[in-house]
Structures are given as structure tokens and as C-alpha cells.
Amino acid sequence: MNKSNLLKKGFKEVSHPVARTIFSLDVGCNRSITIGFFGTQSESVFLDQKDEYSIITDLVCLHNWEHNGILTEKKLELILSIFD
């Protein structure tokens, strides 16, 4: 999977002070799927929820390269299918 695939799925590229670049997809109800350190051995996928002030109040790691291996398009599709 590459950056182009993420952008086609609706992810937006966002600057981040630690991860340099993250990819974020709004999944409704003030929630986002965020991919950090994409394409590296630190790659991780999170579900976050923000309050009315856009402050993250809840954060769950859904995928971590160290524990789950490479993020494939199939794995990402399974994660995203929850929000269809």
C-alpha cells in the first residue's frame, strides 16, 4: 500500500510535530482513523474521538506494526468497514 492508496480512500495528509506526517480520515461523530509513521516500522493506526473543542478525549490503537505486521490494504479495508 502507498500514499496514493490512502488519499484515494479519503485520508488527508496532515503535518504532525512528532510523526512529521499523519494521514487522517473523518469517520463521523467526531471520530477519526489516523495513521502515523506510515510505511515505517513504527506505523500505527488509531481511532480517536474529539470533544466539542476538537480535543482528543479517547484514543484506541487498532494496528501496530510491531505487533500486527505491515498494514496491508486488506487490513485497512477491514478496519474501515466498521464505519460504513
Query: What percentage of the chain exceeds 70 in pLDDT?
Result: 96
pTM above 0.85, yes or no: yes
Q: Which amino acid is located at 83 in the chain? A: F
Residue 47 CA: distances (Å) to CA of 31, 33, 37, 50: 7, 5, 15, 10
pLDDT tens digit sequence for 43-64: 999 999 999 999 999 999 999 9
Q: Which amino acid is located at 25 in the chain? A: L
Q: What is the pLDDT of residue 51?
A: 96
Query: 14 phi and psi, to 5 degrees?
Result: -130, 135
By the 10 Å C-beta count (0-12 exposed, 13-18 middle, 19+ buried), 45 is classed as buried
Q: Judge contact between 33 and 45, C-beta under 8 A.
A: yes
Q: What is the pLDDT of residue 84?
A: 80
- Split into its structural domains, the chain has a count of 1
Domain assignment of residue 38, given as a range: 3-81
